[in-house]
Structure 1
Amino acid sequence: MKAGVSAPLVIHHFSSKAGLRTACDAYVAEQFRRTKTESVRRGHMPRNVAHEAIAANRHLVKYLTRAFMDGGATIDALFDQLVEDSLVYTSEAEELGLVYPSRNPRHRAVVILLQSFGSLILHRQMERHLGVSLLDDEPDPAGLDAYMAAVLELYTQPMMNAEAFAELMNERTDR
């Protein structure tokens, strides 16, 4: 085994390989939640903190990327936990005035996670077009800045004008 332990030791501690996977998933979800919660409680995230957080948690990001690509019921449970955790720290961010409230916080959380992890799964395309992959052991800071600037623009600057949005939402609700 890559971890340097025997199969009987895994079975002794986790009952099965699936039990080990469940324990790993729980650990990753907790670390992800902790990092996000600490960022919210900081009240802001200077660029160097974001770079450090990505570097410090790269192993978790790689694990999550592989896990989502593998799929399955245990991964569904992991994603569900990430959604639930996101609702908690995003609510705290709302209370602190860092993010705006949402009409549907759960849907917003799901879409943000889908977009975030989708970009990781498409890391090769990110590297081709932005010059950085978040899965690289030492990503280029300039490429990372370009990626983060684009993401933050999407989150802070409206892309669609208010009239087009209202029209789209009215057409959707009339059906």
Structure 2
Amino acid sequence: MRSVSDDLTARARIRDAAIQSFARDGFDATSMRAIAKDAGVSAALIVHHFGDKNALRDACDEYVVAAFIDDKHELIEAPTADRIRAALHDIERYGPYIDYLGRMLGDSSPAANRLFDKLIDVTRETLDQQRAAGLLVEMSDPEMTTMLIAMMGLAPVMMRAQISRVLGEDQLSPAGMMRTTLPTLELVTHGIYSTSVFLDGAREALSGEQAATQKVEAAEEGAPS
């Protein structure tokens, strides 16, 4: 007879095997039989614990998301609130979870949306603190800037394989992160243009567009019904 601890151990093995398989091959290309083989269990035991593949993916989603946003989790014991950064310091160990995040964020599952919202919140809080400390310039649209900064941080996670192929090294490795640091800070500190002509032109064009829109709206409001 299986004990409760045996069941818990098997459930964890199945979940971990599924996370690695989904991260490596994608959800559609991964079979329950392949997960069972990697976990050293029968496919029937997966059904016993999770029901079906969709339910198993939901469990994997929640486990991985919790690892990066919950303070107490068995996967990552982060010394700081930045749990993803802590994981990146040990990419060899946590690589499958990072890759799983990349696949998750390409979907619209509730867990992926919860993770994305949390990442936006953390980015917003960081920028608010830096703004209060006088470290930021004035922004025309702080919320959109928050979104762009968060997207810059997510790009290496979501496009890890493509970026690594172009750079010739894993950007999430220690060497890759060192290579990324100065160009990233140069970009957000000084930008890349030596002139404001493009910014000035965009401001003028958008201002004209806004004025034209307001004129049309005013005309429509004044027209007899």
TM-score range (shorter-chain normalised) is 0.5 to 0.7
In structure 2, C-alpha distance between the alignment counterparts of 1:112 and 1:94, rounded to whole Å: 10
In structure 1, C-alpha distance between the alignment counterparts of 2:179 and 2:97, rounded to whole Å: 22
Aligned residue among 199, 202, 207 for 1:165: 199
1:174 alignment partner, SS class: helix
Change (3 A) 1:114 1:59: same
Q: Which moved further from structure 2: 87-96 or 19-28?
A: 87-96
Structure 2 counterpart of 1:127, one-letter code: S
1:133 partnered with 2:170: yes
Structure 1 counterpart of 2:82, one-letter code: S
**Is the Cα contact below 8 Å between 2:120 and 2:150 reproduced in 1?**
no
Other-structure match for 2:185: 152
In structure 1, C-alpha distance between the alignment counterparts of 2:171 and 2:93, rounded to whole Å: 12
Structure 1 residue runs without a partner (length 5+): none
**Is the Cα contact below 8 Å between 2:120 and 2:146 reproduced in 1?**
yes
Give the superposition deviation at 1:80: 2.1
**Is the Cα contact below 8 Å between 2:101 and 2:158 reproduced in 1?**
no
Change (3 A) 1:20 1:50: closer
When the two chains are superposed, the root-mean-square deviation of aligned CA atoms in Å is 3.7
Other-structure match for 1:87: 120
- Residue by residue, what CA displacement relative to the aligned partner does 1:83-104 show, whole Å, maximum 9, x if unpaired? 2102321232134327858625
In structure 1, C-alpha distance between the alignment counterparts of 2:90 and 2:128, rounded to whole Å: 23
Give the TM-score taking structure 1 as reference length: 0.63
Give the superposition deviation at 1:174: 3.2
Aligned residue among 39, 42, 52 for 1:6: 42
In structure 2, C-alpha distance between the alignment counterparts of 1:122 and 1:91, rounded to whole Å: 23
Aligned residue among 59, 63, 68 for 1:27: 63
Give the superposition deviation at 1:78: 4.2
1:39 partnered with 2:82: yes
Give the TM-score taking structure 2 as reference length: 0.52
Give the superposition deviation at 1:25: 1.3
**Is the Cα contact below 8 Å between 1:28 and 1:60 reproduced in 2?**
yes
Of structures 1 and 2, the larger Rg is shown by 2
- Residue by residue, what CA displacement relative to the aligned partner does 1:120-157 show, whole Å, maximum 9, x if unpaired? 4544553355342146xxx4x43331123323333333
Q: Which structure would you say has the larger RCO, counting Cα contacts within 8 Å and 6 or more residues apart?
A: 1
Give the superposition deviation at 1:118: 4.1
Alignment of 1:54-69 (within 5 A): 54-55=91-92, 57-67=94-104
**Is the Cα contact below 8 Å between 2:88 and 2:94 reproduced in 1?**
no
Change (3 A) 1:13 1:65: same
